[in-house]
Structure 1
Amino acid sequence: MSKENPQNNDFIKSKKCANWQYICELTLFVLTLIQLFNPSKFLLVIASIILIVEYILSYCAGHFFDTGHRIREMGLIDNSFGEKRIPTYNSENYYNNGTVTVKEIKLLANIHENALFTSRIVGEMIPLRFLLLVFIILLTIVKIFISGLDNYASILLSFIVSSSFLDRVIRLYSLRKSSQEVYDKANEICNIYGKTSPELSALLLPKIVEILLIYENAVFDTKIVLSEKIFHKLNSSLSKEWLNIKNNYSIYSEQKEVEK
């Protein structure tokens, strides 16, 4: 997959907002630890301001993600069906499916490739986030044992921060599960095509639309911006793996029009 695409600018903005949101959450957690040993109303005021900033950053991250997601969807449809709604963008450089000429099959190939990349990259993103979540939860439990349940404001802030980290990990697991499901279903479609007659191939179109909806809804609902570092690390190997997958399925090489 190409690293340059029109949705990248909005996804970068979304990622920056999410990173600052992440910093705010860590700062809040540090403040709750300080509050444990040095109770102060001033710290609670600062924490309240940070909470407001964190909410604004969350909104901005979602806004930029939705904009980038819409552009990415347009690029997917343009590439699959030979459209040009983004006039300055050559989507052929983003996907590795230029040899597939049948429109419906090219859509399947693009979804198939997206699901492969997403499931693998998210899988690499999960361990660090999960370990951080466990660390935050353990510190919260220790904090409660030390301070008891008397400092309600500090405990509430700790739970807010912990729930934010938990939500992020849950969304990562959800996206990995959904993208893996789409990848598996795409493999099934390719396998069915190789065993059916051309007359039965028309039945594949609803299945292609189904996995398109599953994938796009999962990406939109979780609003996870994939790690650029992990993408750069895996891009070459995943691209080679995708080419091998594509070469092993007749649906991508026979170029038969799906009957309507």
Structure 2
Amino acid sequence: YILDLYTETFLYPATARKRRKGFIDNSLGSKFLEKATQNYYSNDEINVGPYKMLVNCCENCYFTFNIAKAMLPIIVLKNIFFSIVALAIAYFGINNNLIAIPVLQILLSSLFITELVHHINFVVKLNQLFEKFLDAFVNIKDNSLFLQQAVLLYVEYETVLAYNKAPLSDKVYNKLNQKLTKEWEEIKERYEISQ
């Protein structure tokens, strides 16, 4: 509990602030961070501006979505395992106790199932947002509100991240990084990104 409280109150917000500043620096050419973001985005050939902002955010969304999706089976299995263990312990430990069993059911649903529901919601929202990014690239030439759309999609992405209840797995990221980088380059080619 103390570790969760510390990470959610201090560590994650500090990391997120740095990530956002690095995103703005790389996309718009500002200098909010003392050092430039290096080797984070694969879009160095794109000039700074709203278009690069849209491309960088789309890349972030693509990676985040795929990592979260790959984590889903692990979270499902973890929830099933801990729910069964907790129910078994509770049943044999508080058998025939009319007050303890409903309290236990409430606690179980809030501890285990809530995490699963939040993660599924996170994956679904990222998928929907990624589709909006792709639509933006398809309709880019006809869009007179491009800057506004880039900012809106960035804000939507940050909002989805803010409501994520658990960090993404570095292990899953490291496992998928090469594959996702290759797929991202194929997406850039298909949608004529960086031209």
| TM-score bracket, shorter-length normalisation | 0.7 to 0.9
- Deviation, 1:250, is 3.1
State the identity as a percent.
28
The 5-angstrom pairing of residues 46-195 of structure 1 reads: 54=1, 56-63=2-9, 64-88=11-35, 90-142=36-88, 146=92, 147-150=94-97, 152=99, 156=103, 159-160=106-107, 162-193=109-140
- Deviation, 1:83, is 1.1
CA distance 1:76–1:155, shift in 2 (3 Å): same
TM-score of the superposition, structure 2-length normalised? 0.87
The equivalent residue for 1:33 is none
- Deviation, 1:245, is 1.2
The equivalent residue for 2:180 is 238
Q: Deviations over 1:159-197 (max 9, x none)?
A: 53552222322222122122212211000000112xx4x
Q: Distance in 1 between matches of 2:109 and 2:85?
A: 10
CA distance 1:74–1:102, shift in 2 (3 Å): closer
Q: Distance in 2 between matches of 1:228 and 1:165?
A: 22
CA distance 1:181–1:150, shift in 2 (3 Å): same
The secondary structure found in structure 2 opposite 1:93 is coil
Question: Contact conserved, 1:66 with 1:220, CA < 8 A, in 2?
Answer: no
CA distance 1:83–1:223, shift in 2 (3 Å): farther
Q: Distance in 2 between matches of 1:139 and 1:151?
A: 20
The equivalent residue for 1:17 is none
TM-score of the superposition, structure 1-length normalised? 0.67
RMSD: 2.3
Question: Contact conserved, 2:29 with 2:48, CA < 8 A, in 1?
Answer: no
CA distance 1:155–1:58, shift in 2 (3 Å): farther
The secondary structure found in structure 2 opposite 1:96 is coil
Q: Distance in 2 between matches of 1:95 and 1:164?
A: 36
Question: Contact conserved, 1:75 with 1:86, CA < 8 A, in 2?
Answer: yes
- Deviation, 1:244, is 1.4
